[in-house]
Structure 1
Amino acid sequence: MNGMDNAPLFDSAASAVKFALRYSAMAAYPQGALSHAVQRTAIGRGKGLVGMSGAAQAGMVQAALARLSGDQLAVLQLRFGRVEVDCPECRQPVPVKAWREAAAVVGRWPELADLPGPIRSELIDSQVVGRRLDLSEDDCSDGPSLRTLQRLAREVRRRMTELENAALETLEAGLQQSGLVMPT
Structure 2
Amino acid sequence: MTTMTLSRLPSVPAVAAKAVPLFASAHAALTFALNYSMQQYDRPLMNKIASGELTSGSTLGGGKGLSGLDGAGQAGMIRAELARLSPIDQAVLVAHAAPSQISCGCGIACCSGWKVNPEWQDAMSVLTSAAASGALTGCVSNGRLRSALIQRLFGAKVTLVELAERYEVDEKTASTHHAKLKRWLFGGADQKGAGIHQQAYRALGDRLRACKWIPEEDAAQKN
- Give the TM-score range, shorter chain: 0.7 to 0.9
1:96 corresponds, among 117, 122, 139, to 117
| Cα distance change of structure 1 residues 89 and 165 upon mapping to structure 2, 3 Å threshold | same
Matches within 5 A, 1:60-99: 60-90=77-107, 92-99=113-120
Is 2:189 the counterpart of 1:156?
no
Q: Which residue of 1 aligns with 2:190?
A: none
Amino acid in the other structure paired with 1:152:
H
Q: 1:11 — aligned with what?
A: 24
Counterpart of 1:135 in structure 2 is 162
Contact 1:29/1:85, CA 8 A, preserved across alignment: no
After TM superposition, the score normalised by the length of structure 1 is 0.80
CA contact (8 A) 1:176 1:183 kept: yes
Distance in 2 (CA, whole Å) between partners of 1:34 and 1:133 is: 48
User: Residue in 1 aligned with 2:147?
Assistant: 121
Could you list the per-position Cα deviations for residues 42-73 of structure 1 after superposition, in whole angstroms to 9, with x for gaps in the alignment?
Answer: 5127x232111111111111111112121111
Q: What is the alpha-carbon distance in structure 2 between the residues aligned to residue 122 and residue 36 of structure 1?
A: 37
> For 1:108, what is the secondary structure of its paired residue?
helix
The one-letter code sitting in structure 2 at the alignment partner of 1:128 is F
Q: Deviations over 1:126-145 (max 9, x none)?
A: 1111764243654454x4x2
SS in 2 for 1:165: helix
Deviation at 1:114, TM superposition (A): 5.5
Between the two proteins, the alignment pairs up a number of residues equal to: 175
Pair 35,84 (structure 1): closer, same or farther in 2 beyond 3 Å:
farther
Normalising by the residue count of structure 2, what TM-score does the alignment of the two structures yield?
A: 0.67
1:166 to 194, 199, 203: 199
Q: What SS does the corresponding residue of 1:85 show, helix, strand or coil?
A: strand
- Structure 1, unmatched stretches of 5+, are none
Aligned-partner Cα distance in 2 for 1:13–1:64:
11
Between the two structures, name the one with larger relative contact order (CA 8 Å, sep ≥ 6). 1
Shift of 1:164: 1.6
1:86-130 C-alpha deviation (Å, 9 max, x unpaired): 113337111110100011112213239964454233212211117
Check if 1:59 corresponds to 2:69.
Answer: no
The Cα RMSD (Å) is: 2.9
C-alpha displacement at 1:10, in angstroms?
0.3
Offset, 1:35 = 7.7
Moved more, 168-177 or 24-33: 24-33
- Percent identity over the alignment is 27
Unaligned stretches of 5+ residues in structure 2: 1-17, 187-194, 218-223
Pair 1:43-2:61 in alignment: yes
Report if aligned partners of 1:126, 1:134 keep a CA contact under 8 Å in 2: no
Checking the alignment, whether the CA contact within 8 Å between 2:145 and 2:163 is kept in structure 1 is no
How far off is 1:14 after superposition?
A: 1.0
Does the aligned pair in 2 maintain the 1:71–1:105 contact within 8 Å? Answer: yes
C-alpha separation in 1, matches of 2:175 and 2:28: 30
